[in-house]
Amino acid sequence: MNEQSTVRVVVGEAEPCNGALRFVLDGEGFDVVGEGSTPAELERILPDTQPAVVVLSADISARAVLTVRKRAPSAKIIVVWPTGVSAAIADDRVEPSRIYDELGHAVRRQADRRLVSIPDAAESIHDLVRLPEAGTEAPFVPEFAVEAQATYAP
């Protein structure tokens, strides 16, 4: 088994009959564990698939990025969007005409950056914060959560 096969990827493509993203990811040896063509489909499959990376094509709505952030908060998001379209809400962007050259590298890069110090059971950083106890001013925040919050700036 090669290193890439351990990276779990979900693909969001409004027109999966094209299948270019799946074709590239399969060819690079990644483990494509799910596909969705709408934000609702992604919302349904993300909890069961627990991907490290989610790749979204330009033809799926921008709302899909928000769905992924909500349903798979620890997953890294790569958007395959053209130049000029803001990808600020994603972790990485690949130009559609460059997927054959750059998508595999982007997935590996984001999988390497994925935070592994946060327990998979935590829905978000906020789940790791305890409420203030009586007589204290601020909640206790574990040090790794502070580092993770600084790193995870959506």
pTM: 0.70
33 phi, psi to nearest 5 deg: -100, -5
- Hey, what CATH topology would domain 3-113 get? Rossmann fold (3.40.50)
3-state secondary structure of 11: strand
Euclidean distance between CA atoms 74 and 51, whole angstroms: 9
| pLDDT for res 153 | 45
| pLDDT for res 6 | 82
| pLDDT for res 26 | 93
3-state secondary structure of 28: coil
Domain ranges of the chain: 3-113, 117-154
| pLDDT for res 59 | 86
Q: Which two tokens stand for residue 128?
A: 């790791």
- The answer to whether the CB of 63 falls within 8 A of the CB of 42 is no
Question: Could you tell me which of 117, 124, 108 has the C-alpha nearest to residue 52?
Answer: 108
| pLDDT tens per residue across all 154 residues of the chain | 444 448 999 999 988 666 889 999 999 999 999 999 999 999 999 999 999 999 999 888 888 999 999 999 999 999 998 887 766 788 999 999 999 999 999 999 999 887 544 444 444 444 444 444 555 554 444 444 444 444 444 4
